[in-house]
Homo-oligomer: A and B are copies of this chain.
């Protein structure tokens, strides 16, 4: 049995120290505009490394944030998240509001205690989920009425409610309620929606209690919407800047539009955002998208790809994706990725994991998820390291060459 180790290896084989500082500021600190610090800028792209200070510790960026929608990263324990190098996890206000409910999480002493996770938590407002999962949606200026996808119960949430709920969770990073319009949409639809989203952003900021909770209040980000219309995106960014947030999210991308269009929108939008605030690209994504977005100056990412694809037998390696149900792995006694330090790769062979998927065994999705999470977290760790030693572009080229070497379509 190989020994567990906390040392993690980058994609180029260098050992990275696992140490992440926990400089927790005193309770009641409001974490205003000074929560983020850029550490190093890439001389050839707009990529940068930085540190985001939260009530539960510092987050070094660029960072990949595992998604724990229902207060759990699917199939994975907290210890495994730590082993994989996770600095922060995501959860979802819509889901947690419906189940187990705001009150229970408060009684538990906040979301960190409820899920026994002591590092930072970012909660999405759940706007995206309200508009994609629930039914009978009625949008008013005051908020949104919807029917729960779980039990059909009716609810009405205002932007103020959504901030209050996240503050009662003790989230370190909060998202305001926003309207999520489907892709593609007419410009006039997006334009109308942008007005509402801006109003809600303003109300959200006003509703946020400054340092009056046990948790210091958390960092409320603004979310830039605007569909695939660069002018609407730019206007949305400028309007949010006027309101002034300690960080900015870019929402409404990776919802079915072509990759090139997403890159173009990023390219038009990011220069509008201030250098000294963190930028979070919501729901993205695939390795090539992550490289492109980092090169344009994005700092934070979340995506369900590592866990969802893992459960569906797709694993990521430095030489591309592997579809683990494939017959080519029946007699493949190598680990998924021989350079990967995760428990899955230290312990089990492709042939064994293929057998588990084939036999519909629970352990299969779990082992694949753990590996994929390690892959994505390390990928962003390696990007950060490459930025800091002025090798980002080279690292990107090397990675892409190797990742695409088998000629598969990876996106």
Contact = CB atoms under 8 A, between A and B. Distances in A.
Contact of A363 (B77, B82, B108, B330): B77
Contacts of A352: 71, 108, 114-116
Interface string A124-154: 0000000000000000000000000000000
A361 B107 contact: no
B331 A77 contact: no
Nearest 4 interchain pairs by C-beta:
A75-B362, A100-B355, A70-B359, A72-B363
B349 A108 contact: yes
A99 B349 CA distance: 16
A96 to B, nearest CB: 9
A14 B24 CA distance: 38
Nearest to A311: B362
A79 interface: yes
Q: How many copies does the complex hold?
A: 2
A118 interface: yes
Given A104-B330, A114-B349, A362-B365, 6 more contacts: A70-B356, A75-B363, A77-B367, A99-B355, A104-B351, A108-B349
A363 B1 contact: no
Contacts of A79: 1, 4, 343, 347
A358 interface: yes
A78 interface: yes
B118 A330 contact: no
A159 to B, nearest CB: 26
27 contacts: A1-B78, A1-B116, A1-B118, A4-B79, A70-B356, A71-B355, A72-B361, A75-B362, A75-B363, A76-B363, A77-B347, A77-B363, A77-B366, A77-B367, A79-B343, A99-B355, A99-B358, A100-B359, A104-B330, A108-B352, A114-B352, A115-B352, A116-B348, A116-B352, A362-B362, A362-B365, A366-B366
Interface in A83-118: 99-100, 104, 107-108, 114-116, 118
A391 interface: no
